[in-house]
Structure 1
Amino acid sequence: MDLFGSSSFKALEIGLQGAQIRQNAISQNIANVDTPNYKAKTVSFKHLLNEEVNKGSFEATRTNDKHFQFSSVAKGPIVQSNQNTMYNHNQNNVDIDREMAELAKNQIYYNALISRISGRFNSLQTVIRGGR
């Protein structure tokens, strides 16, 4: 019996890894807010969560052809730099207000994942103790 290899644990783990990569990108953007010619980076990793969910026994029923299918297109987190914008006189495109908002959003996302994992471990601990 594989307690920690279930699709939900794997999806939570992938989510945490993605949040870490996003945290690193946001931190780099904030650190380079005044660096000439620096281009802000964004991270997309939700396709990884979809992939993990699709690998497991999770299936969705489409009741209408217009509903989205669960699918994945890429094999890893996508880190992109936006080369087409410029917010500052030094060719830098880091918007510190946006980055701080993204930082807060990522922290909330991370805390939600940690809370869910903690709940899973608490449930296992209750089972091990015999319901006490």
Structure 2
Amino acid sequence: MAISFEKAFGLHPEGMLLREKRSAILADNIANADTPGYKAKDLDFGTALANAQSRQSSSISRTHEKHFQISTDMQQEVKFRNVEQTDTGDGNSVDIHRERNAFSQNSMEYQASLNFLNSKISGLKKAVGGQS
């Protein structure tokens, strides 16, 4: 009997990839906090995860090696963030405190998913090894 990792892990691997992508976007925002005209961006995590779930449920697979592999582009979930602070005159929309908080929150959620996957892997290792 084969182990289905997709069934065992669910959307957590995809969620971790989305968290990683969001970390990069938030880090860009923080790095460009003093860049005139820079517009803060963010990843719409809910939409991105819903899109990942629909891609996973459709589970289109290649039936021949010369068929194209379907790539997933997350650019559609990346949006410019609405400005919540007054304009400083340089056109920059980055609120450094908001970005740091979002980065910390995203980091904790990434770590929680990582811990969940580690416990799932540990359980699978026990099941394969015959331990209880």
TM-score class normalised by the smaller sequence: 0.7 to 0.9
Cα distance between partner residues in 2 of 1:10 and 1:81: 29
1:14, distance to aligned residue in structure 2 (A): 1.2
Greater length-normalized contact order (CA 8 Å, ≥ 6 residues apart): 2
Partner Cα distance (1:15, 1:39) in 2: 25
Q: Which residue of 1 aligns with 2:97?
A: 97
Q: Does 1:110 align with 2:113?
A: no
Specify the alignment match of 1:80 in structure 2.
79
Q: What is the TM-score normalised by the length of structure 1?
A: 0.73
Unaligned runs of 5+ in 2: 59-72
| 1:80 counterpart SS class | strand
TM-fit CA distance, 1:88: 2.4
Corresponding position of 1:55: 57
Q: In the alignment, does 2:32 pair up with 1:40?
A: no
Instruction: Give the superposition deviation at 1:84.
Output: 5.9
With over 3 angstroms needed to count, the CA separation of the structure-2 counterparts of 1:84 and 1:103, relative to structure 1, is closer
Mapping for residues 5-16 of structure 1, pairs under 5 Å = 5-6=6-7, 9-16=9-16
Answer whether contact 1:39 1:83 (CA < 8 A) is retained.
Answer: no
CA-to-partner distance for each residue in 1:64-122, whole Å, 9 max, x for gaps?
A: xxxxxxxxxxx845111147665422110100000000001000110010011001000
Q: Given the superposition, is the C-alpha separation of residues 2 and 124 from structure 1 closer, same or farther in structure 2, using an over 3 Å criterion?
A: closer
Q: 2:4 is aligned with what amino acid?
A: L
Distance 1:95 1:4, change over 3 A: same
Identity of aligned residues (%): 26
Structure-2-length-normalised TM-score: 0.73
The alignment's C-alpha RMSD in Å is: 2.5
Cα separation, 2, equivalents of 1:117 and 1:9: 7
Shift of 1:46: 1.9
Amino acid at match of 1:5: E
The 1:91/1:20 distance shift into structure 2, 3 A limit, reads same
Decide whether aligned partners of structure 1 residues 50 and 30 sit closer, same or farther in structure 2, where only a CA change above 3 A counts: same
